[in-house]
Structure formats: C-alpha cells, structure tokens
Chain A
Amino acid sequence: MNLLPFRFRTFRGRLSFFFLSLVALLLATTFLIVLQANRRHAQRQIEDNLRAGSRIFSTLTERRLDELNEQARLLAYDYGFKQAFGSSADDPGTMRLAMQNFRDRIRASFMVLVSLEQQTLYDSDASKRDGAPFDLPDLINAAEAHDALEARGLVLRDGQLFAAVVVPLLTPEPAAWICLGFRIDDSSARELGVLTNLDVSFFAQTGEARGSLLASTLPDTRRQELLAAWPRRGQTAPEPTQMELGQVPFVTLIEPLEVRHGRVAVALQRNLREELLPFRALETALIALGVAGLLLSIIAVVAISGSVSRPVLRLAENARRVESGDYSPQPGEESERRDELGQLARSFQNMTEGLAERDKVRDLLGKVASPAIAAELTSRPLTLGGEEKKVTVLFCDLIDFTPLSERLTPSELLEVLNAYLTAMSRIVDAHGGVIDKYIGDALMALFGAPLEMPDQAAAALRTAGEMRTALRELNQRLFPEGEDALRFGIGIHTGIVIAGNVGSPTRYNYTVLGDGVNIAARLESLTRSADYATDIIVSEATLQESTETFRTRPLGEAPVKGKQELVKIHALLE
C-alpha cells in the first residue's frame, strides 16, 4: 500500500507530505491552466492587433490618397495655373517653375502635366522626359474611365513607391492631365507605424529574386534580416506568421498592395517580445503568487500537523504510562480542546480513571474475598442470576467469643480477629477454596464454586482439619498463658446450590444460596452442643462425595431446621 519510495517515520511527516503534495498539485495545476490561457490570450491579442493594424493601414492609405486627390483637384482649378498653362506654348520656362511651385506647395514629390494624348508635356523634375510618352499610362487610363476623370493609387516609378493621383486640368474642359506623386519613404512608413503601432515595411517584388526594400520603420540591421527572411517571390502571408529578425520573433503579416506599374507587398510586423512583456509580467506575478502560496501552505501544514500530532503523541505517552500501570491523572490541554482530539483525550482520561477504579475494586475484592472469586467476577460479563451447582460449603464460626471481646480493647479485639481470619483464609486459599464472605467473626468458604473442583469434598475436609491445627497454634501464639481463648465450630455439607451474582445491578455479590448453605450453617451450630463433643461436623453427603477417606465418628441423624428429613452427620476426627 506504500506507493512512496520512502517511509515516513512519523504521522506528522506523512500528514505534512500529503497536504503539501495536494497544495503543490493544486497550485501547479492552477498555474499551468492560467499560464496556458494567458499564452493563448496573448497570441490571440497579438494577432488581433496585427489584423486591426492592417485595417488601419488600409484605411490610412486610402485616406491619404483621398487627401492627395483633394489637393490635386484644388490645384487643377487654380486660375493662375490655368493662365500659366494657357501661355505655356510661348513660355515653357515659366510653366515649369509654376509646376515646381505647385509641387512644393502641396509637398508632392513630382508633378507631371500630361497631354490628352498621354504625352508628357512638362515634368517638374526632368525636362528630358518632355515630349516622351507618359510612363504611368495605367493611371491616365483609369482617370479616363472614371466619371470625375480622376484616378489615384500606389505606383512604382523609377524604383520608388509613390502615392499618385491624376486629375484633369479644366479650362474649363479637360485640357491636360495633372499627375501628382507623393513618395512613400521611411518617414511616411514611420508615420504609418506610429498610427498603426506596427513596424511597416514596403517591399518591391521586381524581376530580381528577392526585390528591394522601398521604405521601412525598421532600423538598418533589421532590414537586412527582413530581406533575408522575406518569402520567395510572389508569396505573401495573409495570416499572421512568426518571423525571426536577429533572434527576435516578429509576428508578421505580408499583404500584397494594389500598385500600378509594379508589384509591391507590405509587411506589417509586431515585436513579439515587446508584445509579450505585459503577459510575462503577469506570469512572473503568478509564479511569485504560487511560491508565496506554497510557502504559506508549508507553514500552515507544519503548524496544523503539529497541532494534530502533538496531542496524539501525548496521548500515546499517557497510554504507555497506563500500560505500565500508572493511572495517575495527567491533566493536559488536550482535554480542553473542542475537536475530536479533545474527545479522544477526554475519553482516554475517563478510560484511565475507569481502569484505575476497576483495579482498585479488583484489589479490594482480592482483599476481602478470594482472589479466585475476584478473578471469576472480573473475567465474566457482569450479569445477575446464577446456575445450579454442586458445592461443598464450609461454615466456620467462633464459639464463646463474647467473654474475650469483653476482656480486650476494641483494637486488640480487631487485631485478634484479623489474625484469626487471616490464618483461616490462608488455609482455605491453600486448598483451592474461596472465601464467600465474612459475617462478623464467621467465615463461609466454598469449594466447587465459582471454579469447578473435582475433589471439592476432600479439599473441604482437609481444610477443616488444618484449620483446627492452625487455631491451636494461633491460640498458643496469641495467648501463651495456656487457656484456649479462641474456639470455633465448623459445619461442612455438600449439596446443590444456586451460585451467581446476587444483589442490584449497581451492587451485588457473588454468593451461593440454597439448602446446602443452610445445612452447613446448621451443622456448625450443632458443634455447640456438648452431646456431640466435636468442633467439626460433616454431613454424610460430604463424606460420600469425598475421594479420600477421613477418620470420622458417626453422630447419628440430626434434624435440620426447616427440613423434614434428617441428615446423617459425622464428627471429623483428628
């Protein structure tokens, strides 16, 4: 049943181990569950942030293009510009200056005036383009197809990314196209990055294997890593994926941009490590909380197990003392407790007291009655009622005791009586008889009850003989002057009696009742009669019962009080 590779020597150790394991298991489970939920939440939140960032990015790009469109439209309606255009045939220099002025006014990167036939009329930055076909025809075509004759979008021009718009120059009907471009460079990327809270990188996917980075919020070192980690041509990452940039994980979303005259993708990224900082903090707090909880549990478990095991140890100590026979009361705080241990301690105390009481009673029984009876009494279940048994009753009483009692002081008398009874009792004990009771100076002994005795009659007869001798010696010792101060008479009869506990449930004696007892007492009283001239009278029943032969003298038949028939009696000779 021991599943552990080691054993605990103490109950306290086992208790502590059990509870601590339980607490640790509980804490670990809780921690793992919370940790997992936390991680999952973090992952989801990061992905949500990225998607939200992507939406913000699209909206911002769209809005920026709207803004540029608006500005370009305002420019197209500028009367001064129309005037310059009206006279441009005579004065191309003025026209170019006007265009540069307007380009700078709205902070555009380039401005091109395109004829309705899509020839470059004026390029604000490169006059060598003048007269050549415009290099962004898709934009013009889109504008031509549009109701308001306007178009806007992202374009790749000379390897750079621009937000471009085309509006017509109306004088008041379309006379030319105005194309304005706003370069998307690192600072525009940074602006987007701040607004979306993302790292934004634009990447041209040109004919080369890897293409080139157009603009980015990333520092230079990271850009190289991004270029190296960039997926193969044409691939995008429409779902958030993880990308390592210099051992730092970035959650990355790569989306194609709708760009005219080139293929461009945008990478929206978030530093996973930074993103996870608050979650890491939460994890640290959780760990700290778990450790603190475990420490507190250790303290609590040690204290509780101590409070449980200490009284148990004390009780065990008490039990050992009781085992060794020390019933002295050991008051402890345990019995003051209100819990089960208190009950146990109180019960134990009561038990100890009970044991002490019983020992005392048994002692007393042993002193006042036969140890055999005492043993029989204590070993049996205590019930009233008895059984029929053949018993030999020996009744012994002092004769003519009154004169002696008048001669002696009470204490002297008691001393004499005690010496006498002690001597007689010892003889009864020695022959296996039991003292049923003392009645004043009389003594009643049983043979065959409560313990079965095969030679009960012989034992009783031998006892009586020895008692006679013992009394003579006692007289010589107590009264050396010579006169036999103490004389007794003994009656012995064997018959069926009721043996058992007699009394009330709280107070009872083991005794025998019946004719047998009365006959023994009657025989004893017959010794007082001078006609029989003997101190020991035995019934014929006893002699017949005896396995040994004793020297006796028949005394004839004697009437027994309350009995119709006569009993044959004999004197026991020396």
Chain B
Amino acid sequence: MAPHRSFSSLLVALCLWCCCSSSAIAAEIAVTVRDSRGAPVRDAVIYALPVTGKAPPARRQKVEVQQRDQQFLPYVSVVQTGSAVLFPNNDDVKHHVYSFSPAKKFELPLYAGTPAEPIVFDKPGVVTLGCNIHDWMIAYVLVVPTPWFAVTGADGAAQLRNLPAGAYDIEAWQPRLRNQAQPPRQRVNLPAQSSTAFQLDLKPEVRLRRSPTDSGDGYR
C-alpha cells in the first residue's frame, strides 16, 4: 500500500505544479481603500469576481473566528462560499454566538472551547455575528463566491494574488458601507493593471460600550 500512496502524493504534487505552471502568467493587484475624506480604511474586504462569470475554483480554507477577551477576532473575515468556519472560545467565560443575517442564520448556544462542528457558510452575503450575553461583541463574515479576496490593514492596503490573467470585477465592502445592496465595483484587466483604489462612503463608526470588567482597568 505504501508505494501506491507515495504515487498518489506524487500525482497531487504534479497537478499542483501544473496549476502553478499555468499561473506562470498569474497576476496580482494592489488595492488601496480610502474613505470620502481620504483617510485609509481598515477592515475593508476586497474580492475579485471573474467577468466571465465562470465559477472560480473552490479553495479549501481553515477559517476561524475566535472569541478572545470577550471580542470576536478578527473583526472582519472573508470566506469563499461553502467554507466551514470554526468559532473557538478562548475565554474563561462562555459565549452564545448567533447570526440573524439572511446569508446565514445560526446559533451556538452557550459554549466553551471549540465546537465540534464548524458552521458552513453556503450562501454569499454578509453575516453579522453577535453574542447574546455580550452585547458589544460584533464581527462580520463576508461570504463571497470567489477565492480571490483580502482584507485591508490599518494602511487601507490589500493585495490580491495568484489571479489568472483576465478581466475581473473587483468589489469592496466594509461594515460601515452606506449602500450595502450595491458594493462599489471596479473592472480591471490583469496583468495589465497592477493597482486600483476605492473611495468608500462610510457611516460614522458606532461601537457599543463594553461593560466594566473585573480586571479593574475600566472600559476596554
């Protein structure tokens, strides 16, 4: 059995190489996101949709939205449709994670540790996460039908890599985006174009205040 297994491994490796070789012409694009006043926007999701509409290959990802220090981490996640997401609880207290979003309604009643079953996000859309016992806990999972996506950092920059050459619609999304129904979109041709920029119309930031904690250092 062992030789057969090593052969299959070789086959997989070969296939991967083939893919890589076909992306020898693979491109990448740098995207910067600013708000209407020109300030860099963090936690903006950038994702590329092939103009052909051809379903891009599914990329298996291990995605986690953990709870640490009574906050979701990360604040904004992005997954390809069909991805399974785990919600490990790294706090001493229990959490009750829920979502009433149409894209994915689910509920993880009070639990500690990592739930055995991940939640599969099978529809594209925004999933807003909340915790029933910590009103201030909030996080977003954007489910997109593409494997090419990234989240901006504090500098408002993100990089989409390994895209095959071709035309793409690049869309941007942010939790505070005013018109969520129609995210801003830009068409780019790769690899001719190596960068693009978004200016987002954002609502002012409103965050619920945390309850005072036992640690005595006031509000966090």
Residues of A participating in the B interface, judged by any CB pair closer than 8 Å? 77, 79, 82-83, 85-86, 147, 149, 170-173, 175
Q: Which 9 residue pairs of A and B lie closest in terms of their CB atoms, listed nearest first?
A: A172-B130, A86-B100, A171-B100, A172-B138, A79-B132, A173-B128, A77-B135, A86-B105, A171-B130
**Considering the chains assembled together, what is the distance between the CA atoms of A375 and B64 in angstroms?**
154
Closest-by-CB residue of B relative to A77 is B135
Closest-by-CB residue of A relative to B131 is A172
**Considering the chains assembled together, what is the distance between the CA atoms of A86 and B138 in angstroms?**
17
* CB contact under 8 A between A173 and B132, given known A85-B100, A86-B105: no
**Considering the chains assembled together, what is the distance between the CA atoms of A172 and B175 in angstroms?**
12
* CB contact under 8 A between A82 and B100, given known A147-B206, A149-B206, A171-B128: yes
B138 engages A173 (CB within 8 Å): yes
- Return chain B residues, CB-CB under 8 Å to A79: 96, 98, 132
Whether B1 sits at the interface, judged by CB under 8 Å, is: no
Interface residues of B in 84-136 (CB under 8 A from A): 96, 98, 100, 105, 128-132, 135-136
Most buried by A among B129, B131, B206: B206
**Considering the chains assembled together, what is the distance between the CA atoms of A171 and B130 in angstroms?**
7
B208 engages A170 (CB within 8 Å): yes
B206 engages A172 (CB within 8 Å): no
Could you tell me the distance in whole angstroms from the C-beta of A546 to the nearest C-beta in chain B? 151
Could you tell me the distance in whole angstroms from the C-beta of A166 to the nearest C-beta in chain B? 15
- Return chain A residues, CB-CB under 8 Å to B41: none
- Return chain A residues, CB-CB under 8 Å to B131: 172
A175 engages B100 (CB within 8 Å): yes
- 5 A–B contacts, CB within 8 A, in A order: A149-B206, A170-B130, A170-B135, A171-B128, A172-B131
Whether B137 sits at the interface, judged by CB under 8 Å, is: yes
**Considering the chains assembled together, what is the distance between the CA atoms of A329 and B163 in angstroms?**
154
- Return chain A residues, CB-CB under 8 Å to B129: 172
Could you tell me the distance in whole angstroms from the C-beta of B109 to the nearest C-beta in chain A? 10
- Return chain A residues, CB-CB under 8 Å to B175: 173
- Return chain A residues, CB-CB under 8 Å to B98: 79, 82
B105 engages A172 (CB within 8 Å): no
**Considering the chains assembled together, what is the distance between the CA atoms of A147 and B96 in angstroms?**
26
**Considering the chains assembled together, what is the distance between the CA atoms of A86 and B106 in angstroms?**
10
Closest-by-CB residue of A relative to B102 is A89
Closest-by-CB residue of B relative to A79 is B132
Could you tell me the distance in whole angstroms from the C-beta of A119 to the nearest C-beta in chain B? 15
**Considering the chains assembled together, what is the distance between the CA atoms of A79 and B138 in angstroms?**
15
**Considering the chains assembled together, what is the distance between the CA atoms of A383 and B175 in angstroms?**
139
19 more A-B residue pairs beyond the given contacts A149-B206, A172-B136, with a C-beta to C-beta distance below 8 A: A77-B135, A85-B100, A86-B105, A147-B206, A170-B130, A170-B135, A170-B208, A171-B100, A171-B128, A171-B130, A172-B128, A172-B129, A172-B130, A172-B131, A172-B135, A172-B137, A173-B128, A173-B138, A175-B100
Could you tell me the distance in whole angstroms from the C-beta of A91 to the nearest C-beta in chain B? 13
- Return chain B residues, CB-CB under 8 Å to A86: 100, 105
- Return chain A residues, CB-CB under 8 Å to B136: 172
**Considering the chains assembled together, what is the distance between the CA atoms of A519 and B128 in angstroms?**
168
**Considering the chains assembled together, what is the distance between the CA atoms of A332 and B148 in angstroms?**
139
Closest-by-CB residue of B relative to A168 is B206
Could you tell me the distance in whole angstroms from the C-beta of A92 to the nearest C-beta in chain B? 16
**Considering the chains assembled together, what is the distance between the CA atoms of A147 and B208 in angstroms?**
10
**Considering the chains assembled together, what is the distance between the CA atoms of A451 and B106 in angstroms?**
157
Closest-by-CB residue of A relative to B204 is A147
Closest-by-CB residue of A relative to B209 is A148
**Considering the chains assembled together, what is the distance between the CA atoms of A569 and B98 in angstroms?**
177
**Considering the chains assembled together, what is the distance between the CA atoms of A85 and B129 in angstroms?**
16
**Considering the chains assembled together, what is the distance between the CA atoms of A399 and B100 in angstroms?**
174
- Return chain A residues, CB-CB under 8 Å to B100: 82-83, 85-86, 171, 175
Most buried by B among A77, A82, A173: A173
- Return chain B residues, CB-CB under 8 Å to A85: 100
Could you tell me the distance in whole angstroms from the C-beta of A429 to the nearest C-beta in chain B? 139
- Return chain B residues, CB-CB under 8 Å to A77: 135
Could you tell me the distance in whole angstroms from the C-beta of A78 to the nearest C-beta in chain B? 10
**Considering the chains assembled together, what is the distance between the CA atoms of A170 and B98 in angstroms?**
12
Closest-by-CB residue of B relative to A78 is B132
Could you tell me the distance in whole angstroms from the C-beta of B143 to the nearest C-beta in chain A? 17
**Considering the chains assembled together, what is the distance between the CA atoms of A83 and B100 in angstroms?**
7
- Return chain A residues, CB-CB under 8 Å to B96: 79
- Return chain A residues, CB-CB under 8 Å to B206: 147, 149
**Considering the chains assembled together, what is the distance between the CA atoms of A82 and B138 in angstroms?**
15
Could you tell me the distance in whole angstroms from the C-beta of B211 to the nearest C-beta in chain A? 12
**Considering the chains assembled together, what is the distance between the CA atoms of A110 and B206 in angstroms?**
28
**Considering the chains assembled together, what is the distance between the CA atoms of A170 and B96 in angstroms?**
15
**Considering the chains assembled together, what is the distance between the CA atoms of A149 and B203 in angstroms?**
13
Most buried by B among A86, A147, A172: A172
- Return chain B residues, CB-CB under 8 Å to A175: 100
Closest-by-CB residue of B relative to A82 is B100
**Considering the chains assembled together, what is the distance between the CA atoms of A83 and B130 in angstroms?**
12
Could you tell me the distance in whole angstroms from the C-beta of B10 to the nearest C-beta in chain A? 49
Closest-by-CB residue of A relative to B138 is A172
**Considering the chains assembled together, what is the distance between the CA atoms of A167 and B206 in angstroms?**
14
Interface string of B46-87 (1 = CB under 8 A from A): 000000000000000000000000000000000000000000
**Considering the chains assembled together, what is the distance between the CA atoms of A489 and B66 in angstroms?**
176
Could you tell me the distance in whole angstroms from the C-beta of B180 to the nearest C-beta in chain A? 11
- Return chain B residues, CB-CB under 8 Å to A170: 130, 135, 208
Closest-by-CB residue of B relative to A76 is B135
- Return chain B residues, CB-CB under 8 Å to A147: 206
**Considering the chains assembled together, what is the distance between the CA atoms of A86 and B130 in angstroms?**
13
**Considering the chains assembled together, what is the distance between the CA atoms of A175 and B105 in angstroms?**
14
**Considering the chains assembled together, what is the distance between the CA atoms of A485 and B105 in angstroms?**
181
**Considering the chains assembled together, what is the distance between the CA atoms of A247 and B36 in angstroms?**
68
- Return chain A residues, CB-CB under 8 Å to B135: 77, 170, 172
Could you tell me the distance in whole angstroms from the C-beta of B106 to the nearest C-beta in chain A? 11
**Considering the chains assembled together, what is the distance between the CA atoms of A173 and B130 in angstroms?**
8
**Considering the chains assembled together, what is the distance between the CA atoms of A79 and B135 in angstroms?**
11
Could you tell me the distance in whole angstroms from the C-beta of B187 to the nearest C-beta in chain A? 30
Closest-by-CB residue of A relative to B126 is A173
**Considering the chains assembled together, what is the distance between the CA atoms of A147 and B138 in angstroms?**
18
**Considering the chains assembled together, what is the distance between the CA atoms of A478 and B217 in angstroms?**
156
- Return chain A residues, CB-CB under 8 Å to B105: 86
- Return chain A residues, CB-CB under 8 Å to B208: 170, 172
**Considering the chains assembled together, what is the distance between the CA atoms of A96 and B110 in angstroms?**
28
**Considering the chains assembled together, what is the distance between the CA atoms of A173 and B140 in angstroms?**
10
Most buried by A among B100, B131, B175, B206: B100
Could you tell me the distance in whole angstroms from the C-beta of B210 to the nearest C-beta in chain A? 13
